[in-house]
Amino acid sequence: MAVTADEQNLIAVPSFDPRPLVARPSCGARGEIVACGFGLGLIALLMCAVHIRHGGFYYDDWSVLALGRFPPPGGLLHGLWLDYGQRPGQVLYYAALDEGLGSHAASRLALAAAMVALEATCLYSLLRRLGLAARHAAAIAALLLTFPFSDSVWLWGILSLTSLAIVGALLGVILALRALESSGARALALHVASLALYVASIACYEVFAVAGCLAGLLYVRAVGFRRARLRWALDVLAIGATLAFVRVALPVDIATPSRTQSLAGMAAHAGSIAVQGMRLAGAAALPVAAGDVVWSWVGAALLVAVLAAGAALHQRLPRGDSARAELGRWLAIAGAGALVALTAWAVYVPAPDHYSPAAVGTVNRINAAAAIGIVILVYSCLVLLARMLAGLVRLPGAAAGFAATLAALALGAGYLRQTAADARAWDAAAADQRHLLADLHSVLPSLPRAAILYAFDAPLEVGPSIPVLSTTIDLTSAVRMSYSNSTLVGVPVPAAASVTCGPRGPRAGGVGGPYGQAYLVDLAARRAVRLIGDAQCASRTARSPSAPLPPMLASGSRARQQASNSL
């Protein structure tokens, strides 16, 4: 249908204008999105089911669980506020988790799996609204769901919050596009809901902050700059105001990183993120050997080669050629994917250097939002390669599409193989934690109030950054939960000799206490000794405790089972 000059003028009016606008076709019917969500949910179930059954709690899980089990005088919300107050959404979410799911690890892991499936479904819906064909949108969504370089978001239950924040951001973009294509009260309501989702996402986890300020590029593509500029400005204002409020107006809390690097440090970190991000993109394109630096750079070189060849061919083809237009479209999509990844990583530039795209284990959460951009970039390169090869041997376009689909399936299989290996490592860590606590119960069936346990000779990690109660706060929280005693303290130490025996009491890991309340526990030998004086302490810390177990503790099977059941 032809658009008249009057209608063109109406299109240029800001979206809050109540006059009717020319309707845009809606991509992605509701039933289609539901069907895609169902399919993605099945993939998530197959991918996550074993971990949901055998996984457990890790790192922050333990401290948040202990806060819920033994809230401070001001209540759970007060305790969470002291720990996470600069992310108000995080405080409310953790309180809701405690109220709704309690200390059931499987339920929390199932929620995390459902969140990543919901995130992938929202991405599918957004890509369809932006005009991408259903098969391409579905392939990208499935690759995001199975992406192994950010899999801590479903392997670690508490990170369901990260996926929720990304879901809020994606829904906010979808509603913003719908608002710009609507008019009157409907448009106003959609704009308000969209901005509220942006603010809620930032208040939970600020991973969307930089990318959200560039969402206006999508608005411009959809309705033009004149119509998009007001909404774009409101986005930047809302996101900037939210960040300023949570970082400046709210008091510094315990858990949220608040220290930033110097300008020189940030510049160096930004360069490191860019280099490691390119390496990660290569690993995502060629997932043949997890953690292999050489293969990662080979994959990165292949991506660059495909993009360069596509750009060169695009320039050589005559204007008006459909193949040129298609190549240009996928080159633009690949560029958009790279931009999404870079803006997602940009929020970590002021943070410590260990926030790197190449991080593994719990720290690969840095790639949670960047994964969207990486899979778009990699999939775009697959399509470009398939189309160029099909053109080279003069195959029809349908053959190129079939080849791209096969390549995406092979890539997804590689992702699933790597996520399965990661899940096994996380499950092993959970099993080690259960065994550690069961061994404690077998050696020390009961403990007095305010007892301090210096525990050694136990695994602290299962692979890099996959913890086994490796910090004092984690072991303390787990011991308190397991013994139902809010006064206990657990200190993991490398060896018995790490404990210093002072005149008033032992000390290790920055934690000390009086003699009579401290225990030295050899977890491998399943032996423990109560430290009652400096001379005895010095003799015991010079070697592992070797006193025979009391008869009642000679067999720890019943105590082990009791401890496992208590979790």
> Can you tell me the distance from the alpha carbon of 537 to that of 542, in angstroms, rounded to the nearest whole number?
8
Q: What is the pLDDT along the chain (567 residues), one digit of tens a residue?
A: 444 444 333 333 333 333 333 334 345 578 899 999 999 999 999 999 999 999 999 999 999 999 999 999 989 999 999 888 889 999 999 999 999 999 999 999 999 999 999 999 999 999 999 999 999 999 999 999 999 999 999 999 999 999 999 999 999 999 999 999 999 999 999 999 999 999 999 999 999 999 999 999 999 999 999 999 999 999 999 999 999 998 888 877 777 666 778 899 999 999 999 999 999 999 999 998 767 788 899 999 999 999 999 999 999 998 888 888 999 999 999 999 999 999 999 999 998 888 999 999 999 999 999 999 999 999 999 999 999 998 887 777 788 888 899 999 999 999 999 999 999 999 999 999 999 999 999 999 999 999 999 999 888 888 888 989 989 999 999 999 999 999 999 999 999 999 999 999 999 989 999 999 999 999 988 999 999 998 999 988 886 444 443 333 333 333 333 333 334
What pLDDT score was predicted for residue 258? 63
> Can you tell me the distance from the alpha carbon of 112 to that of 104, in angstroms, rounded to the nearest whole number?
13
What pLDDT score was predicted for residue 27? 53
What pLDDT score was predicted for residue 28? 54
Return the C-alpha torsion angle 407, 410, 416, 421, nearest 10: -130
Q: Which two tokens stand for residue 40?
A: 């993605």
DSSP letters, 219-258, are HHHHH-HHHHHHHHHHHHHHHHHHHHIIIIISPP-SSS--
What pLDDT score was predicted for residue 83? 87
Contact partners, residue 102, CB within 8 Å, separation at least 6: 68
- The model carries a pTM of 0.88
> Can you tell me the distance from the alpha carbon of 456 to that of 509, in angstroms, rounded to the nearest whole number?
12
> Can you tell me the distance from the alpha carbon of 430 to that of 64, in angstroms, rounded to the nearest whole number?
17
What pLDDT score was predicted for residue 345? 96
> Can you tell me the distance from the alpha carbon of 530 to that of 534, in angstroms, rounded to the nearest whole number?
12
Report the Cα 443 to chain-centroid distance in Å: 37
**123 with 141: CB under 8 angstroms?**
yes
CA 144 vs CA 124, 150, 167, 378, 472: distances in Å: 10, 9, 13, 11, 35
What pLDDT score was predicted for residue 335? 96
**4, burial (CB in 10 Å: exposed 0-12, middle 13-18, buried 19+):** exposed
What is the C-alpha radius of gyration for the chain, rounded to an integer number of angstroms? 27
What pLDDT score was predicted for residue 552? 32
